[in-house]
Amino acid sequence: MEAAEKPLKPQKQNYAILSEADIGELQKKEMIKKHVDDDDAISWQKYGRCLVRSYVEAQQNKIKWCPAPGCDYAVKFDIGRIGRSGISNDVKCDCSYGFCWSCAEEAHRPVDCATVAKWILKNSAESENTNWILANSKPCPKCKRPIEKNHGCMHMTCTRPCNFQFCWLCLGAWSEHGERTGGYYACNRYETAKQKGAYDVTERRREMAKNSLEQYTHYYERWAANQKSRQKALADLHQMQAVQLDQIREKQCQIHGQVMFIIDAWKQIVECRRVLKWTYAYAYYLPERERAKREFFEYLQGEAESGLERLHQCAEKELEIYLNEDLSKEFDEFRTKLAGLTSVTKNYFENLVQALENNLEDVDSKGGCGKVVGAGSKSFGEGCSKGSGKRGNNIWNWICLKG
């Protein structure tokens, strides 16, 4: 099998997809001939794959397997260029899976690896369960098990075998309560003790836990919603590429190149959903005290999100007309609209990405927002070093290898 390296693509993606035979000049044939007959094709393939894997594993600092399930590609990266201006750690394998070379998590530009690691750990840790319990339950005064209040009255009964009955507010025995203490929906004992500060520490802890939980839930729900939207958009993109694009081309009497703007729009949606998802993780860890930065970030995020929603709506809903109807005079107008929304949304997200990679340094020292960086010539989704804040050449310095 002769090496057949594909030519490097333009600077937008400086990589090549290689087969087993392309992984260096390993003299594979000569090595395998020592152990396998020339006509034993199965063994040739088996030994060839073992040789490739041995080579990749021996080059762990330069070559990594794609972490996508079932993927047989490896990625070669120029380690010396990581962190330089114009070089991104994000890699897109030939299987279409994007991941970070440094941490092997899914591609997360413009958020750094440390933030991603903290966010993933938080999503999987027990800390939020603890906060939920603290914010929404109280310990039974007798057995100390957490009890959740799910009815309006203050009369609580612990589960078996405890069965202790108590007041939700003051946690005293219910046998000591009645009409004179406020009945089922109030507790005079609690109010009196509260005025004396008896519950200050407990209530403060509960309030802090509640606020922490609400803040986390706010960002997690939006992070998860964009992840779900991205997965749906990716499925829609594949459906468009496989079936619908030809249907539109035939119904609207267009040549292939005249309908590719639709694919460009869906690719932009998929990538923007990924970026928007990670901006919510970034926002969660953005200190409240940095008010100017937070306001600047929320402005950029809001502009980008609004643009994306308009683009997604147009690609998802308005496109249906041209899938279900014959030749339409409005198709050219639709092309102009969708292509325009794609371009505008791209610019919004370039501004957002560049600002985050620049650590929101466009906020001036007086607490105001500096000039928003223009989109420039750099294509969104391509090379920019983590935290550099500088625009550089569009170089993705990696090579995919088929394993």
Domains, the chain, ordered by start = 1-105+390-403 (no CATH), 140-198 (no CATH), 204-380 (1.20.120.1750)
Mean pLDDT of 106-118: 92
Give Cα separations from 359 to 53, 335, 363, 387, 392 (angstroms). 39, 36, 9, 7, 17
Write down the pLDDT at residue 311: 96
Please tell me the least confidently modeled range out of 42-51, 117-126, 274-283.
42-51
Write down the pLDDT at residue 198: 57
pLDDT-derived band at 173, boundaries 50, 70, 90:
confident
Is the pLDDT reported for residue 204 higher than 90? no
Please tell me the least confidently modeled range out of 8-17, 76-85, 191-200, 226-235.
8-17
Give Cα separations from 210 to 29, 83, 148, 317 (angstroms). 65, 39, 14, 39
Q: Name the DSSP class of 151.
A: S
Q: Residue 393, CB half-sphere, CA atoms under 13 Å: how many?
A: 9
Residue with the larger pLDDT of the pair 26 and 260 = 260
C-alpha 214/C-alpha 219 separation (Å) is 9
Phi, psi for 239 (deg, rounded to 5) = -65, -40
Q: What is the pLDDT of residues 14-42, one digit of tens each?
A: 344 444 555 544 445 556 566 666 665 56
Mean pLDDT of 2-11: 32
Residue 153 among the catalytic residues: yes
- 235's enclosing H/E stretch is helix 200-239
Q: Tokens 């809903």 map to which residue?
A: 317
Nearest C-alpha neighbor of 64 from the set 20, 32, 37, 103: 103
Write down the pLDDT at residue 300: 95
Is the pLDDT reported for residue 190 higher than 80? no
pLDDT-derived band at 89, boundaries 50, 70, 90:
confident
Q: Which of 153, 158, 162, 384 is catalytic?
A: 153
Is the pLDDT reported for residue 151 higher than 80? no
Q: Tokens 């004396």 map to which residue?
A: 196
Write down the pLDDT at residue 295: 93
Q: Tell me: cis bond preceding 161? Omega within 30 of 0 counts.
A: yes
Angle at 332 between CA 331 and CA 336, to 5 degrees: 115
